[in-house]
Copies of this chain bind each other. A is one copy, B any other.
Amino acid sequence: MSRLLILLAAAALTAPLAAAPASAQSVDRVAVNGILDQGLNHSQVMQTAAYLTDNIGGRMTNSPAMREAEAWTQQRFRDWGLSNVRTEGFEFGRGWSIVRSSARMTEPRVIDLRAIPIAWTPGTNGTITAGVVVAPMTRVADFDRYRGQLRGKIVLVTQPNTGSEPAEAPFLRLTDEQLRSGNVYPQPQYSPAAIERQLDAPNFAVALDDFLAQEGALALVRMSARDGGLLHGTGSGFRVGQTPKVPGMELAAEDYRRLARLARTDTPPTLELMSEVQFHDDDINAYNVLADIPGTDRSGEYVMAGAHLDSWVASDGASDNAAGSAVVMEAARILRELGVRPKRTIRFALWNGEEQGLWGSLAYVDQHLATRAPSTDPRLAGQPNNRTWRNRWPIQPREGHGDLVAYFNLDNGSGKIRGINAEGNVAAVPIFQEWLAPFASLGASTVSLRTSGGTDHVYMQTVGIPGYQFIQDPLDYNSRIHHTSIDSYDHLKADDLRQAAVILASFLLNAANRDQPLPRMPIPTQPTPSDPFEYLPAE
């Protein structure tokens, strides 16, 4: 190979995935140096994360811990000199918290089991001791099989399985190839079956609770969806008047399977369950926490970063999402510490009720950005806002719709930022490439057109607000951390969170100071079109 060819090959191997055109005008690199120094050498991000996780712990919406987190984060924003530190409330439902719980098999032998109360289920009012019935139910049609067999029993409602065979490494960082292959433009997807399933899901949980109560079951036990002894405890029924009637607990998969197997022997198990929980009804509103660095140009335009502060409670809600919250707060601290005076206002948002369906960010959208017409679909009658939102037309922009020029979300665990999803906005791509350019050596250089879902920028996207989410290294978020009993501070990565705070701060400053407008997408005017020859799925 000639020397020239070697050089060309070497260049190809080391070229960034989405090469950022050098553009000295658009990024103030002296400001980036300041952000890097403040964010890496004077970081507070791990202190913030530690307080949210170790001291406050799991932060279920409207629980005392979440109230404490709402107060503490506001105080931190005030300590750092943010402006307009405030909460904005929205109706959510009952608070719920665990006091203590335990589970134990006493026949045919004695063994402590790993269990957690299912969120928003009532406690057991002391210890329940009873035999079990294995009655896997996923549809109302399953009820008939078990009718008349559940009185006085603890009902195991999940189909047991066997041990997993995890053939992938639990802890992952994105490879160049993965970053590259993720850059796929999002074609619209028409999925009527998904809508049906969405509308049915909560109904089944309610129907199952009704059925178990009518049949006189003492408690519901489900199997953890992950094995290895991990627990989750996620649940629903938080709306006032919708509290489940039957106590529910999730058991570690290994413990659940053992019970289910023994139930088939001539020495069936006896189970002791104890769940002591509290409901908190003093205020059924949940509160987003907001804080600003005011802009200088008084146009009303602002940029915003957000992360949800609420969590589940099997552990301390560290990667989901004290991590993102601490990074958003740290970006605020960094920019305040540097004394920046941005043209546009920079707003920091800590959302609430995310885990139950993005309630907090949707409330913000609905109150400030756009609302939608009432539904005419009778299937949607009585459903909460977040369940009907996508199916109500037309979108009605509010006065502030044009003011929010860009929103940046963080909610994918503790992994460092590797780039950003432009969410189909091709005009944003070259801008983000410029903004990322200083951070290539910190591992962040990819701008992908793909969309991401499941968190607080998606309702903004539904109404044409430019909401983006960063691409992060997955680490062990999906394999073992997300919503589990080991989502604790010790699985956070300090280097990664410091890096993320620096990049977020820089993005916010760039967005706030950019002379030209930031590119927006057209406001949607109709549902995703179906293929005219597409048949509804048979199911």
Chain A residues near B (Cβ < 8 Å): 50, 54-58, 65, 98-102, 104, 108-112, 114, 161-172, 227-230, 252-254, 257-258, 261-262, 265, 267, 315-316, 475-476, 480, 485-486, 488-492
Residues of B within 8 A of A267 (CB): 55
User: Looking at A162, A165, A230, A480, which has the most chain B CB atoms within 10 Å of its CB?
Assistant: A165
**Which of B99, B257, B265, B486 is close to A110, meaning CB atoms less than 8 Å apart?**
B99
Contact present for A166 and B265 (CB under 8 Å): no
Residues of B within 8 A of A491 (CB): 162-163, 254
**Nearest-CB residue, chain B, relative to A257:** B490
Residues of B within 8 A of A315 (CB): 254
Contact present for A229 and B54 (CB under 8 Å): no
Contact present for A261 and B489 (CB under 8 Å): yes
Question: Closest CB-CB distance, A488 to chain B, in whole Å?
Answer: 5
**Nearest-CB residue, chain B, relative to A319:** B163
Residues of B within 8 A of A108 (CB): 55
A254 vs B316: C-alpha distance when bound (angstroms): 10
Question: Closest CB-CB distance, A42 to chain B, in whole Å?
Answer: 20
Question: Within the oligomer, what is the number of copies of this chain?
Answer: 2
Residues of B within 8 A of A475 (CB): 165
Contact present for A486 and B228 (CB under 8 Å): yes
Excluding A58-B111, A99-B110, A101-B112, 6 further A-B contacts by CB distance (< 8 Å) are: A54-B261, A56-B109, A100-B110, A114-B114, A164-B171, A254-B490
Q: Given A227-B486, A490-B258, do A111 and B171 touch, yes or no (CB 8 Å)?
A: no
Q: Given A170-B166, A170-B170, do A486 and B112 touch, yes or no (CB 8 Å)?
A: no
A20 vs B528: C-alpha distance when bound (angstroms): 64
Contact present for A265 and B112 (CB under 8 Å): no
Contact present for B56 and A228 (CB under 8 Å): no
Contact present for A171 and B162 (CB under 8 Å): no
Residues of B within 8 A of A111 (CB): 57-58
Contact present for A166 and B162 (CB under 8 Å): no
A161 vs B491: C-alpha distance when bound (angstroms): 10
A55 vs B98: C-alpha distance when bound (angstroms): 32
**Nearest-CB residue, chain B, relative to A108:** B55
**Which of B99, B168, B254 is close to A486, meaning CB atoms less than 8 Å apart?**
B254
Contact present for A169 and B171 (CB under 8 Å): no
